Amino acid sequence: MSNKKTFFEPIIHNNPVTIQILGICSALAVTTQLKPSLVMGIAVTVIIAMSSLIVSLIRSFIPKKIRIIVEMTIIATMVILVDQILRAYMFDVSKQLSVFVGLIITNCIVLGRLEGFALINKPIPSILDGIGNGIGYSLILVVVGAGREILGAGTLMGYSVIPQSLYNAGYENNGLMVLAPGAFILLGLIVWLQRAVTGHYEEE
Amino acid sequence: MRNSNLYTFIFISIVTIICAGLLSSAAFYLKDKQQTNVEVDMKKNILKAVKLLENNKMSQQEILDLYNQNIENYVVNNLGEIINLPEGILVEDIDPEKEDTKPESDRLFPVYVKKSRTVVLAYCIPILGKGLWSTMYGYLALEPDLNTILGITFYKQAETPGLGSEVEAENFQNKFIGKQIWDDEDNLVSVKILKLEPSPNSPNIMYEVAGISGATKTSDGVMNLLLKDLTKYETYFRNLRKELVQKEEI
């Protein structure tokens, strides 16, 4: 597989969230607003890319029977590093994401890419695959986050986007969008839309 | 070779040592910066509660200067007496969470006062308590009448992002402004958090605010912690209020 394909495929055609249905938990939890979705996306991208690189570099030394433990150790280290750096340099954002940065450790996409790709590929393709999957994940988070913030709170990045005249005419924010079901509905619509466009179907 | 137990053992030891080293050095080098962030954040929130913080774009130094110029602090005990702290311990160092674990008579309660020369403009106390997932930390500021709420802030919590974490949002906190904590018979009633907007005709509207939709447990937590923490200061506030009444009579 060419490097270009490795990078672009997970963004649309093999998107980890909408095609593989991975990382749903955090896609539901942090997407009530655009800003945390964005930061979460960047954090996950950095973590997948870095841990893919490291695992790929040491892939021929990892003993088979403890490979998952090694992968988890590397992911956990990266996650804690990112958390520490956010706390030191982006204090407000780290407060907003709170526990969810730590929970990146349990994001199936990260472990999935290490197991499925980095363990059997060279460093450059691995890092591209990591970034590609991270962007694919971020893309969905950003779309869901923007949708939920606009429909649920009438704002985007904290700024009002719905004109007051619309509210005066009887429009109301949709409270359901702030709750988890709102994310399920939006995510479901995106999955449907994407599969309708790309023609992807689950293999029997 | 790669399948031998010894190799596995050595390999995982090396990985662990490298990872541990990396994390300890990161924690070590970033610690000062993180602590300053926490300290400035605390002072910023006291300033915010007493309505001294005009915007969020102030530098850390500006926040510290503003704090030092306007805020005085001291601690009281559960009898409402002002206590002198031993040399070297600052009021800011008093951790209200640790105080809660001490026997009642040993507890110290910090009070932050906004003053202009000798005139008290606001009283501010730390508040904390359990929400749904986490302990929420914040400040409550009262007007000099010790009855009307001037401001409330939360600065540390790990509630559900977008739902419970809205306790940090201004539009939730602004609902508390102007509410009162003592009823007409001088009982400490604190503020009640309802599921819906309080009806404008409610006789208790002075003591009621609407909670966060979708975050009932967090809202209940805020209600409970307000009552709990105000009760700690009840004796002290009662004394101050008596003095106020006496002054008025003179």
The predicted-structure confidence for A64-118, as pLDDT tens digits, reads as follows 888 999 999 999 999 999 999 988 888 877 877 767 888 888 888 899 999 989 9
Which string of DSSP letters, residue by residue, matches A138-156? HHHHHHHHHHHHHHHHSEE
pLDDT at A139: 93
pLDDT at B200: 80
Give B161's pLDDT tier (boundaries 50, 70, 90). low
Boundaries of domain holding A86: 21-195
Measured CA to CA in angstroms, residue B21 lies from A61, B24, B28, B117, B156 at distances of 20, 5, 10, 52, 29
Report chain A residues whose CB lies below 8 A from the CB of B23: 77, 80-81, 84
Domain count, chain A: 1
A202: in domain: no
Chain-chain contact of A88 with B37 (C-beta, under 8 angstroms): yes
Q: How many CB atoms neighbour CB A3 within 10 A?
A: 13
Beta partners for residue B139, in sequence order: B126, B153
The residue-averaged pLDDT of B80-85 equals 83
Chain-chain contact of B22 with A63 (C-beta, under 8 angstroms): no
Q: What integer best gives the mean pLDDT of chain B?
A: 86
Structure tokens at B19: 């990872």
How far is residue B198 CA from its own chain's centroid? 25
pLDDT at A20: 81
The predicted-structure confidence for A150-183, as pLDDT tens digits, reads as follows 988 888 887 888 888 888 888 888 878 887 888 8
Taking any CB pair shorter than 8 Å as contact, residues of chain B touching chain A are 2-3, 7-8, 11-12, 15-16, 19, 22-23, 26-27, 30, 33-34, 37, 41, 133-134, 155-163, 165, 168, 213-214
Q: What integer best gives the mean pLDDT of chain A?
A: 87
Give A204's pLDDT tier (boundaries 50, 70, 90). low
Q: Where are the beta strands (DSSP E) in B15-101?
A: 71-76, 82-83
Give B77's pLDDT tier (boundaries 50, 70, 90). confident
Identify the H or E element spanning B235.
Answer: helix B234-249
pLDDT at A152: 85
In the block, tokens 């137990």 appear at B5
Residue B237 has pLDDT above 80, yes or no: yes
Residue B158 has pLDDT above 80, yes or no: no
- Where do the domains of chain B lie? 79-249
Size (chain A), residues: 204
More confident residue, A13 or A38: A38
The predicted-structure confidence for B177-202, as pLDDT tens digits, reads as follows 988 998 888 888 888 888 888 778 88
